[in-house]
Structure 1
Amino acid sequence: MTQATGEPPHPPPSPLPASAAGAPGPVNPRRAEILAAAAELFARRGFHGVSIGDLGRAVGLTGPALYRHFRGKESVLAEMLLDISRRLLDEGVRRAAVPDPAGALDGLLRWHIAFALDNPALITVHGRELDNVPEAARNQVRRLQRAYVEEWVSVLRRLRPEEPADRTRAAVHACFGLLNSTPHSATDLDREAMADLLHAMAHAALRAPGG
């Protein structure tokens, strides 16, 4: 990708950190700070509207200093989306394992709603910027996303085994469209009231005949 005019020369690529290459890495507070700032900037301006210099300034670093933590904007975005996808899947697996399928569905809904309401910038970036992630990491994000969807499908199939799997899968994607729209929703409701409303709407849609 061509760098923005005025940015420092890009250093030679280094291997992706463990957390972006497929295995969880140790928590690094500085990296976490950069990722959080990048999520807000990418959500507000879009990936192409943010430079390495912008990212550095957001956390009090120069562009060259930021390269000590990430090899470039694409690396920041890749680690961000891989982390989001793993977090959703890991907790989804745990909640889907509840023996009672109704309880499992309730747990999945409450988890995803809480994540969406508490991380609106991440939800925006997650839904909008995947095409800007390098191919290897992009494919991994998509695999994680598909696996997360299948956890929901497996729970719904336990509740409605007569429903065709493709229809159930489509219903899950539609449900995510509702839950992930929260960063764009203007509302006078407080967080808990909004969470309850989303839960009621999504639960009714997923449990309705033919849903």
Structure 2
Amino acid sequence: MSRSEDIRAAALELFTRRGYETTTMSDIGDAVGMRGPSLYKHVASKQDLLAGIMLGTMRNLLALHRAAIATAEDPVARLRRATEAHVRFHARHRMEAFVGNREIRSLSEPHRTDVLALRAEYETGFRDLIAAGVTAGAFRVPSVRLASYAILDLGMGVAAWYREDGELDEDTLVWYYGDLALRLAGADPAP
């Protein structure tokens, strides 16, 4: 890992455990064995660290979403693959998900607007998948927007409780949540 990656990892862990507001640059420096002046050679500010974590998380989610749906045309398969990618990311990147959800309030402009725009784009991707499925007759929902929010909440909730050594392995969890997403979208149950 590079020094910048070490600093990012330490900041992420501290923001998760202590919160952004109570974490200081000195805390981050201590976590990586650096004093303030040396730390500032790698990062401009605590705010830049938070923004980098949150923007990186959203960009990763968008890239995974695009890759997941690129290999299918069928609306049911596309929604399943998008949901599986969403859930898998949240199972593997719990700290990023936690910080991304809790610390949006701590972002200053223009970072807050940038992160919110990426979040809106991500949600729109799910909404568009569901709307396409409704148009194709594969899904039946009273509200496309509500269905997309419910599916996104499923994945985000995984970050709060999932553990690798828990009751379900990651692949089983991902498959099960894919089924739940299809039910939320009103897909016909599999035979």
Name the TM-score class by shorter chain. 0.7 to 0.9
Detail structure 1 runs of 4+ shifted over 4 Å in the superposition: 162-166
| Matches for 1:26-105 after TM superposition, within 5 Å | 29-97=2-70, 98-105=72-79
**Percent same amino acid at aligned positions?**
27
- The alignment status of 1:145 with 2:119, answered yes or no, reads yes
Q: CA RMSD in A?
A: 2.4
Give the direction of change, closer, same or farther, for the CA distance of 1:165–1:147 in structure 2 (3 Å limit): farther
TM-score where L is the length of structure 2? 0.84
Provide structure 1 residue ranges, at least 5 long, that are not aligned to the other structure.
1-27
Is the contact between residue 38 and residue 76 of structure 1 (CA under 8 Å) also seen in structure 2?
Answer: yes
Shift of 1:165: 9.7
Deviates more, 1:93-102 or 1:153-162: 93-102
Q: Secondary structure at the match of 1:180?
A: helix
Q: Secondary structure at the match of 2:185?
A: helix
Aligned to 2:186: 207
Aligned to 1:179: 155
For 1:156 and 1:49, the matched residues in 2 are separated by: 40
Q: Point out which structure has higher relative CO (alpha carbons under 8 A, 6+ apart).
A: 2
Provide structure 2 residue ranges, at least 5 long, that are not aligned to the other structure.
none
Give the direction of change, closer, same or farther, for the CA distance of 1:200–1:100 in structure 2 (3 Å limit): closer
Give the direction of change, closer, same or farther, for the CA distance of 1:146–1:48 in structure 2 (3 Å limit): same
Report Cα offsets for 1:143-174 as digits up to 9, x if no partner.
Answer: 11111111111111111127899921222112
For 1:31 and 1:166, the matched residues in 2 are separated by: 47
TM-score where L is the length of structure 1? 0.77
Is the contact between residue 101 and residue 159 of structure 1 (CA under 8 Å) also seen in structure 2?
Answer: yes
1:198 to 157, 177, 180: 177
State the aligned residue count.
182
